[in-house]
Chain A
């Protein structure tokens, strides 16, 4: 019996695991890099509302605030420029982190519309008196039902609505200076 070993047909047994390990390593590296730069968030969930108009809602103003109330009619296109809708609360620590960015954007003339989530009016007003008030309109969602219609799963969350009244972007978490520079500025330019 001529038992000629076939080295070529067995070579795959060596190279396949090597190739798989290489691919897995490359994938892992990309993932870790993404974690570092913030491009990849394993807990991040895309919003179901991107590309759609805002859900129907009508919220009362925060008692004691001079900002007018907020309803879906204020977010229907055509709008003079894209607007931000920011869900926040005085008890929310990340909201303190993002507040300077919202202040800066509103000083630049970007309309920032606020929805005060599950908060007491006096706490909300104290928060704004201490840190500044970036909101052109401020609605109060004490039961949190409007937030659920928006698909909110925590505060803060910030939405960008383009001039046609379409939701283009949602950010769950504090809008840091990096988020403003990397994500928000290009979007504001694109939808200006």
Chain B
């Protein structure tokens, strides 16, 4: 079956056209310009140009940092490993789900739509919300949620709309009903059961510490001893 779920196999749905990667490479260019530009800068300086792109960190600026950190802040050639590292760490943010043109122009409405979408399950991926999933169906549902929010529906009305079509499973917070009663009651059952076990053990321990009454033989012996003392 079709594999448009980033992790996990779902039912067949049309493949999403590949995202255009040009913009990402544009940014990569920017980050590397410190390195690439440095050679250009040298050539320009040789021709009498001033470096205009990214000036290499000046040696005196570098000397403010401890020696061990210097390789991170910038090389004389202009490369900036630390910047590159930050860029690489931030790179996944470019892969945010959802197309900009699908978002609502009003930030308040968009925030509401995202909050609603985060509580709705993507039926294809099943363990992601529609806001997190890149499946085709999740995109359709994101659009529907935004349409209804823009049309003035309350949050509850939007959820009811989706719930009426896809049932309880679409809600990432399951509602309380006979089918889910055991699920919801489980923390209380586990806590109550543990409490009962602890109470039972305590009572038994207390019972064990209480002195048991003297047996017949012991009482006779005690009487003898007491009489012996008195005599």
Stretch from A26-34, A68-76, A127-135, A148-156 that touches the partner: A148-156
CB contacts (< 8 Å) of B165 on chain A: these are 48-49, 55, 148-151
For A27-47 the 0/1 string (1 means CB < 8 A from B) is 000000000000000010111
The answer to whether A47 and B167 touch (CB under 8 A), given A94-B1, A154-B1, is yes
Q: Tell me whether B212 and A155 are in contact (CB under 8 A).
A: no
- Residue of chain A at shortest CB distance from B8: A43
Q: Tell me whether B124 and A153 are in contact (CB under 8 A).
A: yes
CB contacts (< 8 Å) of B124 on chain A: these are 153-154
Stretch from A56-64, A85-93, A101-109, A184-192 that touches the partner: A85-93
Q: Interface residue count for A (Cβ, 8 Å)?
A: 29
Q: Which residues of A contact B (CB under 8 A)?
A: 1-2, 43, 45-49, 55, 89, 91-95, 118, 143-145, 148-151, 153-156, 172-173
List 18 additional contacts besides A95-B12, A148-B137; criterion CB under 8 Å.
Answer: A43-B126, A45-B166, A45-B167, A48-B167, A89-B12, A92-B2, A118-B13, A118-B136, A143-B140, A144-B136, A145-B140, A150-B165, A151-B165, A151-B167, A153-B124, A154-B12, A154-B124, A154-B137
15 contacts between A and B (CB under 8 A): A45-B123, A48-B168, A49-B165, A89-B12, A89-B14, A95-B12, A118-B136, A145-B140, A148-B137, A151-B166, A153-B166, A154-B1, A154-B11, A154-B137, A155-B12
